[in-house]
Structure 1
Amino acid sequence: MDLQLSVFLLFILFTAGHSFSCYECLGLTGSCAGQTVKTCPSGYSQCLSSTAETQIGNITSKVKAKACAVACQSWSLNFGIVRTTSSCCNTDQCNAQDAPDPSNIPNGRKCYYCDGQTCLNTVSCSGTEDRCVKATVTVESLSAVVKGCATTSICDATFIPSVGGISCCEGNLCNGAQSVTQSFLFLCCSLLSYFMMH
């Protein structure tokens, strides 16, 4: 019995000193060249790596981010003007590689997306985006409907702060085409930053 107790206490000592860590960065110029290692807070057991591309007219920007996460899944999301991918893993510093760039290879599915004026726009889904999505984003007192393409893992999310009424469907253009409020771009960027940092 004393041997079992000694082995148990020794195990506790060795595991208690180990802290989970991930790479962390926010590359607003499309690069995570200056990433650092961060010890994750208690309860954070996964590492996240995310890549987002925004295109408004002829202007394209790319943001890369890495961080600790409580829980996450790998996914792809396309809101027409904003496309993002995320990769998750659960071992120390496993997010050394950047998340892949959003796919440009159409997969045959089409969904509606909103541009701040209307939700009659259509976007070609790409890569693993196998669902059309519709949600309501609320930031402070502003609300807007967002629509686009998503992977199934987004649809299975049980709780995303500031996002309500997430609904997904499988048919082409199945996510409806109603008009939106004017604060769309602000809310879309807020949603994107949440996905990238959580």
Structure 2
Amino acid sequence: MQFYGALVLLITLSAACGLKCYSCTGKGCTNSVDCPPLFDRCSSIEVNGVVTKSCMSSIACGDTPLSCCQTDLCNSAISTGSSVLLMMVSSALITLFL
């Protein structure tokens, strides 16, 4: 029962932390930022061969050439891998059943 309580706590904490997006101009973007409260999407746009990545409001993602997504660090061309929460849950399940 304590395991489920800890799991619910971890899920709640991960949802409470804001969205993380890459924020940069040009290639080789590695700068990640925590988005402000009203910015609920990560965006990426290419204009004249220059790629710009940032946080964006879902309202601005409507009918524009922006590429928008809504998960942490999703505006990257490089795969970000599994989330920390998924790794913690799988480790806990393995520990529980082994």
Whether TM-score is above 0.5 comes out as yes
Residue among 58, 65, 70 paired with 2:52: 65
Using a 3 Å threshold, how does the CA distance of structure 1 residues 74 and 87 change in structure 2: closer, same or farther?
A: farther
What's the CA shift string for 1:129-151, capped at 9, x where partnerless?
xxxxxxxxxxxxxxxxxxxxxxx
Match of 1:135 in 2: none
Contact 2:22–2:29 (CA under 8 A) maintained in structure 1: no
Which structure: greater strand fraction? Answer: 1
Deviation at 1:68, TM superposition (A): 0.3
**Identity across the alignment (%):** 32
Select the structure of larger CA radius of gyration. Answer: 1
Higher relative contact order (CA closer than 8 Å, sequence separation 6+): 2
- TM-score, normalised to structure 1, is 0.30
Residue among 71, 80, 94 paired with 1:91: 71
Contact 1:74–1:88 (CA under 8 A) maintained in structure 2: no
After TM superposition, the structure 1 = structure 2 runs for residues 32-51 of structure 1, keeping only pairs within 5 Å, are 32-51=27-46
Gaps of 5+ in 2: 79-98
After TM superposition, the structure 1 = structure 2 runs for residues 167-186 of structure 1, keeping only pairs within 5 Å, are none
Which structure: greater helix fraction? Answer: 2
Gaps of 5+ in 1: 1-5, 54-61, 77-85, 99-198
